[in-house]
Chain A
Amino acid sequence: MTEEKNILPTQFPGEVHPTAGGGILLTKIDEVINWARSNSLWPLVFGTSCCAIEMMSTAAAKYDWSRFGFEVARATPRQADVIIIAGTIVNKIAPVLKRLYDQMADPKYVIAMGACATSGGPFFYNTYSVVKGADHVIPVDVYVAGCPPRPEALLHALIALQEKIRSGATREQIKMEKP
């Protein structure tokens, strides 16, 4: 860092005090850590149903989500940060979803994409097999409405999750707070 002010990107939480021979960065560690985490969330590939196709198109060239840091979509939950539940959760896949969530390392975040993951969606009535909402299985941070949500809606949800992380409002962070 040189002696000029404002050489950090505007979103970076902190300010630089220029001194001789460099500068001093004044910030809170929490804010820097949250900023770093929110800008490199790696999603887990978990698409069960039609929303997966919209998720694939969000990941593809036109609505690229790697501009926001979701570059690497991992197939293993051990290396992923955020699980995007794209699709219907059926009674048969609910234990699998729970197991994947348990295998993810802290801090982990959950986005429920689409109507089926939010509340059972079009399958809420008269069905013997659909779980009425993914939050019966795992705790969810961000819900996206739509059937399926447009790629822009999913990007909006991802950005909302990033803002939630930066402001310390996700479930992880609330749990960590001292009462």
Chain B
Amino acid sequence: MSKEELKSNLEEIVISPEYEEGSEWTTVGFESRYWNSIALQLRHTEGLDLNYLFCLTCVDWKTHLTMVYHLTSTTHRHIVVLKSKLDRINPEIESVSGIWRTAEFHEREVYDLFGVKFLHHPDLRRLFMTEEWRGWPLRKDYEDPVNMIKL
């Protein structure tokens, strides 16, 4: 479907979307507390059918964190990018591993490296670092005097 149809469909689902320009894919910002209903509608709406979450990641801007979700549809082949700002001190967002199964591992990775808590995740624990590791390595203010040599 074309970009305009996509945008109008998204406007019905995401309340007051903030579009980001300058990207080849339609990028929408949303509020993190509505994520559960938005995700369900994105998956199951006829015509949108975004059934493939191909990237789930987090970006650390120094004042806040941003969760980024890349979704596409295997039938219609359109791509939508969703972004949401999270608070740095207590970042929480609803888990989508019940909707797109691949999110299980990706959310574990984001939890391990950024410390974002995913509510109702079936098995939220560290993925890359060892279980006893303290701290969130990919945050900008991460200090590790033992291993890191600062440039």
Number of B residues with CB within 8 Å of any CB on chain A: 10
Tell me, yes or no, whether B25 is within 8 Å of chain A by CB: no
Q: Whole-angstrom distance between the alpha carbons of A132 and B149 in the complex?
A: 10
Binds A, one of B1-9, B52-60, B67-75, B140-148: B140-148
Tell me, yes or no, whether B17 is within 8 Å of chain A by CB: no
Encoded as 1 (CB less than 8 Å from any B CB) or 0, chain A from 122 to 134 comes to 0011111100100
The residues of B that contact A125 with a CB separation of less than 8 Å are 148-151
Interface size of A as a range: under 10
Q: Are B148 and A124 in contact (CB under 8 A)?
A: no
By beta carbon, the residue of chain B nearest A129 is: B147
Q: Are A124 and B147 in contact (CB under 8 A)?
A: no
By beta carbon, the residue of chain B nearest A132 is: B149
| Distance from A92 Cβ to chain B, minimum over Cβ atoms (Å) | 8
Q: Are B151 and A126 in contact (CB under 8 A)?
A: yes
By beta carbon, the residue of chain B nearest A91 is: B147
Q: Are A127 and B151 in contact (CB under 8 A)?
A: no
Encoded as 1 (CB less than 8 Å from any B CB) or 0, chain A from 108 to 136 comes to 00000000000000001111110010000
Q: Are B147 and A128 in contact (CB under 8 A)?
A: yes
Q: Are B150 and A126 in contact (CB under 8 A)?
A: yes
The residues of A that contact B149 with a CB separation of less than 8 Å are 124-126, 132
- CB contacts under 8 Å to B, within A5-51, are none
The residues of A that contact B151 with a CB separation of less than 8 Å are 125-126
Q: Are A128 and B137 in contact (CB under 8 A)?
A: yes
Q: Are A127 and B147 in contact (CB under 8 A)?
A: yes
Top 4 A-B pairs ranked by shortest CB distance?
A125-B151, A128-B144, A128-B147, A128-B137
Chain A residues packing against B (C-beta within 8 Å): 91-92, 124-129, 132
Chain B residues packing against A (C-beta within 8 Å): 129-130, 137, 142, 144, 147-151
